[in-house]
């Protein structure tokens, strides 16, 4: 390995981005995420880490997305993207945490040298990085710190500007597959829109045009991208964009967006005068990688169609196409969920398909889904996609259908592989996927919703002094620490008909999350609050969320 780290250059730039002495940073569920005002040193170091990761992988392009997704506007963060558009390899999460916590510039250089040694990085290799940010007001300054990190390692960079997390993932994979037989698409935003809109148009050709769809953009970057997508879709689907105030900082994810809808199980108040009974609507989150659908019934009642309902809709549609195509023996479809999946959805899916439960976080779901020929993965919060394995894609390309029906089904499957952003959950791509299925099945929101009836459930969160004191096992369904707490939860759960509850530390917010479901709504609420009370008593925390009934 010829080169060494440019220690002088790193030191002089690092001195301009000192680490705050009182903060311990952590690469969590989806990267670094905390108050944007504290992240300057982290961003500088993320720039260096991305460059080193690229060198380690022979100069393949790495992505960095500056976003805090569904979190409030003052938060920010960074997600690192590996060459195939997937999340950063797990072992580098630990390296990233170590490097972000080196207390001084000298300690940083020492930590970087240790990483170069342990990961056997050849520093003479090139470094290539593509990066983007969402609409947060702290974004420009943090991007400038990130760029200093790139400079410190003399990386070759491409600024993808203000865009969604899924588009950044798309760009990473497209850049790395450019000119190969596995080309993922043209490495531009235009290439992304063309790919999605062309496949959507093929899939709905000959079908009645879907009525206009209301899209809550969470006042985030989805508004900018949704506007462009609308133009590409033309008259094949009209998106009625709402919550598009990207320049009012306090508006981001505030009383709107996918997380608001999922957690509060309510219509964003801003849509109450927009949405008509029976009309479909959906909410994106701050970086447009989550999607939740909903509608109002004739009496104004709110009905949510979350990630579980999307998984059920999409998996059934794909299974049907595979069957009609005559490929069911060769193309096994499976579903991946987390402990947050509604018990009714798991039951519904298990009766039809193999279903696996993994810990929270796209990286876990994505890897588990890769084990199927076609892996459908969705978190209840609306984060998910469908993966078609390479042998499956090859099979679809070579397959010789023997009837017109088989031929149509294969064409649809091929178009789905183009429509679906397989690098990561993508709210806009998933939204078009849902629209395709609704159009093919002629389903209204109500008909979709009746696939199964959700068990009443409640999410709660508790702020505690140290969320890392909470450790889990069995795909986060049971606590192993603090000792004895799980037994108390079990004892409570047994008192509720159809009761289920679990507790886990969040990887994106400084809280412990509590989930509960039960046969009746009041019982699910009560169980969640009682379990939150146990967590509070154990850790001396603050229940940061209480349903009104308990105040």
**How many whole angstroms from its chain centre is CA 339?**
16
By the rule CB under 6 A, 360 interacts with ligand G16: yes
Distance, in Å, from the CA atom of 405 to the CA atom of 410, rounded to the nearest integer, reads 9
H helical segments located in 351-494 = 362-369, 390-398, 404-419, 427-441, 445-449, 485-493
Task: From 125, 103, 143, select the one nearest 51 (Cα to Cα).
Answer: 125
Whether 58 has a binding-site annotation, put simply, is: no
Give how many residues touch ligand G16 by CB under 6 A: 18
**How many whole angstroms from its chain centre is CA 188?**
21
Which CB sits closer to ligand G16, 477 or 513? Answer: 513
Which CB sits closer to ligand G16, 450 or 481? Answer: 481
Whether 14 has a binding-site annotation, put simply, is: no
What are the φ/ψ torsions at residue 328 (nearest 5 degrees)? -65, -25
Distance, in Å, from the CA atom of 533 to the CA atom of 548, rounded to the nearest integer, reads 15
- Smallest separation, CB 426 to ligand G16 (Å): 11
Tokens of 452: 């199964």
Bridge partner residues of 459 (DSSP): 515
Q: Which stretch binds ligand G16 (CB under 6 A): 199-207, 230-238, 502-510, 542-550?
A: 502-510
Which CB sits closer to ligand G16, 14 or 472? Answer: 472
Per-residue x/- marks for ligand G16, 450-489, CB under 6 A? Answer: ----------------------------------------
Q: Which stretch binds ligand G16 (CB under 6 A): 228-236, 436-444, 474-482, 503-511?
A: 503-511
Whether 180 has a binding-site annotation, put simply, is: no
Whether 513 has a binding-site annotation, put simply, is: yes
Per-residue x/- marks for ligand G16, 262-301, CB under 6 A? Answer: -----------------------x---xx-----------
Whether 421 has a binding-site annotation, put simply, is: no
For residue 201, give the 3-state DSSP assignment: helix
Which CB sits closer to ligand G16, 63 or 445? Answer: 63
Which CB sits closer to ligand G16, 331 or 376? Answer: 376
Task: From 106, 158, 100, select the one nearest 130 (Cα to Cα).
Answer: 158
Which CB sits closer to ligand G16, 54 or 360? Answer: 360
Contact indicator for 401, 410 with CB cutoff of 8 Å? yes
Contact indicator for 295, 326 with CB cutoff of 8 Å? no
Tokens of 387: 């993966």
Long-range contacts of 506-509, Cβ-Cβ distance < 8 Å, separation of 24 or more: 506/28, 506/29, 506/461, 506/467, 507/28, 507/29, 507/30, 507/360, 507/361, 508/28, 508/29, 508/30, 508/33, 508/68, 508/69, 508/70, 508/71, 508/77, 509/33, 509/71, 509/461
Whether 505 has a binding-site annotation, put simply, is: yes
Whether 69 has a binding-site annotation, put simply, is: yes
Among 411, 506, 542, 544, binds ligand G16 (CB under 6 A): 506
Q: Which stretch binds ligand G16 (CB under 6 A): 104-112, 303-311, 314-322, 356-364?
A: 356-364
Largest CA distance in the chain: 72
For 274, residues 6+ apart whose C-beta sits below 8 A from its C-beta are 214, 240, 242
Which CB sits closer to ligand G16, 105 or 219? Answer: 219
- Smallest separation, CB 377 to ligand G16 (Å): 10
Q: Tokens 């969920």, residue?
A: 337
Catalytic hit among 14, 54, 69, 501: 69
Whether 379 has a binding-site annotation, put simply, is: yes
Whether 411 has a binding-site annotation, put simply, is: no
Q: Which stretch binds ligand G16 (CB under 6 A): 150-158, 447-455, 507-515, 522-530?
A: 507-515
Among residue numbers 394 through 423, which ones bind ligand G16 (CB under 6 A)? Answer: none
Strand ranges across the sheet with 512-517:
500-505, 512-517, 457-463, 542-543
Which CB sits closer to ligand G16, 148 or 517? Answer: 517
Bridge partner residues of 240 (DSSP): 214
Among 55, 60, 383, 530, binds ligand G16 (CB under 6 A): 383
Per-residue x/- marks for ligand G16, 58-77, CB under 6 A? Answer: -----------xx-------
- Smallest separation, CB 476 to ligand G16 (Å): 9
H helical segments located in 453-504 = 485-493
- Smallest separation, CB 186 to ligand G16 (Å): 26
Beta-sheet pairing, 213-216 with 128-133: unpaired
Contact indicator for 167, 189 with CB cutoff of 8 Å? yes
Distance, in Å, from the CA atom of 31 to the CA atom of 46, rounded to the nearest integer, reads 10
Whether 71 has a binding-site annotation, put simply, is: no
Among 379, 435, 454, 476, binds ligand G16 (CB under 6 A): 379
- Smallest separation, CB 365 to ligand G16 (Å): 7
Among residue numbers 24 through 63, which ones bind ligand G16 (CB under 6 A)? Answer: 29-30
Whether 157 has a binding-site annotation, put simply, is: no
- 69 catalytic? Reply is yes
Among 53, 136, 513, 530, binds ligand G16 (CB under 6 A): 513
Residues near ligand G16 (CB under 6 A) are: 29-30, 69-70, 285, 289-290, 360-362, 379, 381, 383, 506-509, 513
Q: Residues annotated in the binding site for Mg(2+), as ranges?
A: 69, 285, 287, 289
Active site residues: 69
């Amino acid at each position: 390995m010829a080169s060494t780290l440019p220690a002088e250059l790193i030191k002089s730039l690092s001195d301009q981005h000192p680490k705050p002495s009182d903060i311990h940073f952590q690469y969590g569920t989806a990267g670094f995420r905390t108050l944007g005002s504290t992240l300057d040193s982290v961003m500088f170091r993320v720039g260096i880490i991305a460059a080193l990761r690229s060198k380690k992988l022979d100069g393949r392009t790495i992505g960095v997305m500056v976003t805090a997704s569904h979190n409030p506007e003052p938060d920010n963060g960074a997600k690192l993207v590996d060459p195939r558009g997937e999340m950063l390899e797990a072992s580098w999460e630990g390296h990233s945490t170590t490097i972000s916590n080196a207390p001084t510039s000298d300690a940083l250089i020492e930590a970087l040298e240790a990483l170069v040694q342990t990961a056997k990085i050849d520093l003479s290799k090139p470094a290539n990085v593509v990066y983007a940010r969402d609409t947060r007001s702290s974004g420009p300054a943090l991007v400038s710190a990130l760029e200093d990190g790139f400079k410190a390692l003399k990386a070759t960079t491409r600024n993808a500007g203000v865009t969604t997390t899924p588009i950044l993932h798309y760009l990473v994979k497209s850049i790395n597959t450019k000119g190969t037989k596995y080309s993922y698409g043209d490495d531009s935003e235009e290439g992304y829109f063309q790919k999605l809109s062309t496949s959507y148009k093929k899939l709905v050709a000959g079908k009645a045009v879907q009525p206009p769809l209301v899209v809550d953009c969470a006042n985030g970057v989805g508004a900018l991208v949704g506007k462009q997508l609308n133009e590409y879709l033309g008259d094949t689907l009209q998106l009625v964009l709402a919550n598009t105030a990207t320049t009012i900082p306090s508006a981001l994810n505030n009383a709107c967006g996918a997380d608001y809808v999922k957690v509060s199980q309510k219509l964003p108040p801003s849509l109450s005068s927009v949405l008509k009974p029976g009309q479909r609507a959906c909410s994106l989150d701050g970086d447009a990688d989550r999607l939740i659908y909903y509608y109002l019934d004739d009496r104004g009642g709110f009905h949510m169609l979350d990630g579980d309902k999307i998984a059920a809709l999409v998996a059934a549609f794909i299974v049907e196409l595979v069957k009609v195509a005559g490929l069911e023996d060769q193309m096994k479809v499976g579903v991946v969920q987390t402990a947050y999946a509604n018990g009714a959805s798991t039951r519904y899916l298990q009766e039809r398909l193999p279903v696996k439960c993994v810990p929270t976080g796209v990286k876990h779901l994505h890897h588990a889904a890769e084990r199927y020929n076609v892996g459908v993965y969705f978190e209840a919060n609306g984060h998910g996609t469908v993966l078609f394995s390479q042998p499956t894609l090859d099979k679809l390309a070579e397959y010789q259908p023997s009837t017109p029906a088989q031929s149509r089904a294969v064409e649809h499957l091929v178009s789905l592989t183009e429509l679906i952003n397989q690098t990561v959950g993508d709210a806009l791509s998933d939204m078009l996927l849902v629209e395709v299925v609704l159009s093919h099945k002629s389903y209204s929101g109500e008909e979709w919703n009746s696939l199964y009836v959700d068990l009443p459930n409640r999410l709660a969160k508790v702020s505690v002094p140290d969320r890392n004191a909470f450790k889990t096992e069995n795909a986060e369904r049971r606590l192993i620490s603090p000792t004895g707490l799980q037994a108390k939860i079990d004892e409570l759960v047994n008192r509720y008909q159809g009761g289920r509850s679990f507790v886990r530390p969040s990887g994106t917010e400084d809280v412990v999350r509590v989930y509960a479901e039960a046969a009746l709504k009041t019982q699910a609420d009560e169980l969640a609050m009682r379990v939150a009370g146990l967590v509070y008593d154990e850790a001396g925390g603050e229940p940061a969320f209480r349903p009104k009934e308990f105040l």
